[in-house]
Amino acid sequence: MQQLNETHDPSLRSWVDSANDPAGDFPIQNLPFAVFDHGLGAEPGVLIGDRVLALRSAAEAGLLPVKGCFGAGTLNAFAASGREVWSGVRVALSRLLRHGSEARTAAQGWLIPAKDVQFRLPMAIGDYTDFYASIDHATTVGSMFRPDNPLLPNYRHVPIGYHGRASSIVISGTSIRRPCGQQSPPDSDPGAGPKFGPCTMLDYELEMGVYVGVGCELGETIPIARARDHIFGMCIVNDWSARDIQKWEYQPLGPFLAKNFATSVSAAVVSMEALLPYAAPARPRTAGEPAPLAYLSDADDQASGGIDLSLEVLMRTAAMRERGESAMLVSRGSFASMYWTIAQMLAHHASNGCNMSTGDLLASGTISGKDPRSRGCLLELTWDGVDPATGKPKPRKPVAFPSGETRAFLADGDEVVIRAYAEREGRPRIGFGECRGIVLPAKV
């Protein structure tokens, strides 16, 4: 297990003044990685306060212990270099950017205001897998379709996931086109047959993702005790979902066109080392729940495999944006409530000999809690249960905005903003920035 080191010292301050804001996401204890373009092509950087440090330039100037990792327009070469290199670069960056650094004058030449750059996808993502790791989400959604048996028996034994579409992953800030697809016949006329047209039940999904750093060859596995050695870092994920299309197609094989039209990720990749002070016990199994099978069991992962992240979803309608109003908080959740840890997800993914590659993205699935206010999608957030008199679902209880507007699902022009951060007494807040997207009308 990794240990805390000098980079985690809560008393550290940076000579980049904005990094010392206690409400900011990017203090010197964080140092998340990103890829940006300042007009000369994409290159790797590290976020510090409201600035981004150009890593290729800093490395070529001799300010970092490695040079060849930052030559391309992605973080893949660096991510493939392994935990010792990641940690060594983190220590060097911390010493470079902290108060009293002898290299401050040199480093200042490679700092750029973040507002002046365009962020790009941080990794070349070859494969994308979306899990279903929140038991509260699985139970709530299951109760909508199987009220007498909401959670299928395999859920507590196996981390459920499906393979998504890497080509439609986009960086935060990219607008999302409403998809078209087949929708089921209306309940009032099941013999009418399906129709094809714009999605009418567009949704967001609050998720977190992990990027694979060091992969494994086809036929090899990744033991759970070493799974974190393979994980480069974490990001925010919004796996946009077309619920009406999903309702029609998800049986018998699961998600397809309802999911693969767009997935948004945050620009910031927060390293697992930065998150060490915010580790938490994995969600304990209650009486009557089966213990994980041996290949998913590890004492260290059980003791500290969870991560105490606070998660927020905000929405802003087009009318709110035109009036200059801020996005409204619609839900708040916690990553610490996940049923399966990220190590268990990765170990399970590779347990059949599936080869994992640098840059592969594994998402958690929608993150929800027991409290209705912690539900991570509109499908759950606006669900009002079943009418006991009729046995049918009650009308949805839409999100209400101060302007009088309401939303059961997303309308064209709506903006969704997801934020994630970690904070603990005696420790600074570290964050992931945001994952943002605006819905565009369908092309018909």
Among 86, 120, 154, the domain-final residue is: 120
Q: Which of 120, 136, 166 is the last residue of a domain?
A: 120
Tokens 């996931």 — which residue? 161
Determine which helix (DSSP H) or strand (DSSP E) holds 252, and give its type and residue range.
Answer: helix 243-253
Q: Are residues 136 and 61 in the same domain?
A: no
**Confidence band of 24 (pLDDT split at 50, 70, 90):** very high
Residue 351's pLDDT is 98
Within a domain: 1: no
> Does one domain contain both 80 and 170?
no
Q: Are residues 139 and 105 in the same domain?
A: no
The answer to whether residue 322 is domain-embedded is yes
Instruction: Output the pLDDT for position 144.
Output: 87
Q: What is the pLDDT of residues 96-130, one digit of tens each?
A: 999 999 999 999 999 999 999 999 999 999 999 99
Q: Give a yes or no: residue 31 inside a domain.
A: yes
- pLDDT above 90 covers a percentage of the chain that reads 89
Annotated active-site residue 8? The verdict is no
Q: pLDDT band for position 88 (50/70/90)?
A: very high
Q: Is 363 in the same domain as 319? A: yes
DSSP-assigned letters across all residues of 214-242:
S-B-TT----GGGGGGGEEEEEEEE--EE
Number of domains composing the chain: 2
For residue 167, tell me if it sits in a domain. yes
* Of 8, 99, 137, 157, catalytic: 137
Cα dihedral: 314, 318, 320, 326 (round 10): 40
Over the stretch 319-337, which tens digit does the pLDDT of each residue have? 999 999 999 999 999 999 9
Q: What is the CATH number of the domain that holds 96?
A: 2.30.30.230
Percent of the chain having pLDDT more than 70?
100
Supply the pTM of this predicted model: 0.97
In a domain, 421, yes or no: yes
For residue 361, the surrounding DSSP H or E stretch is strand 361-363
Predicted local confidence at residue 143, as pLDDT: 86
pLDDT bin (cut points 50, 70, 90) of residue 145 is confident
- Taking the CA atoms of 153, 154, 157 and 160 in sequence, report the sign of the dihedral they define: negative
How sure is the predictor about 157, in pLDDT bands with cuts at 50, 70 and 90? very high
Tell me the pLDDT tens digit for each residue of 377-432: 999 999 998 888 888 888 999 999 998 999 999 999 999 999 999 999 999 999 99
Report if residue 278 sits inside a domain: yes
23 with 161, same domain: the answer is no
Residues 199, 326, single domain; the answer is: yes
> Does residue 190 register a pLDDT over 80?
no
Same domain, 85 and 141: no
Q: Is 406 exposed, middle or buried (0-12, 13-18, 19+ CB in 10 A)?
A: middle
Q: Provide the pLDDT for residue 55.
A: 97
Is residue 75 located within the same domain as residue 209?
no
Question: Across the chain, what does the average pLDDT equal?
Answer: 95
Q: Do 422 and 307 share a domain, yes or no?
A: yes
Q: Each residue of 365-383: pLDDT tens digit?
A: 999 999 999 999 999 999 9
| pLDDT single digits (tens) 249-298 | 988 888 899 999 999 999 999 999 999 999 999 999 989 899 999 999 99
CA distance 258 to 203: 10
Does 377 reside within a domain?
yes
CA dist., res. 90 & res. 102, Å (int): 17
pLDDT of residue 300: 96
Q: In CATH, what number is assigned to the domain containing residue 255?
A: 3.90.850.10
Q: Which of 64, 96, 120 is the last residue of a domain?
A: 120
What tens digit of pLDDT does each residue of 34-59 get?
999 999 899 999 999 999 999 999 99
* Residue 308, domain member (yes or no): yes
Based on the fold, state whether residues 155 and 112 are members of the same structural domain.
no
Q: Do 185 and 67 fall into the same domain?
A: no
- Please tell me the predicted confidence (pLDDT) of residue 355: 98
Residue-number span of the structural domain to which 90 is assigned:
6-120
Strands 231-238 and 270-271: antiparallel
Are 36 and 91 in the same domain? Answer: yes
pLDDT score at 189: 85
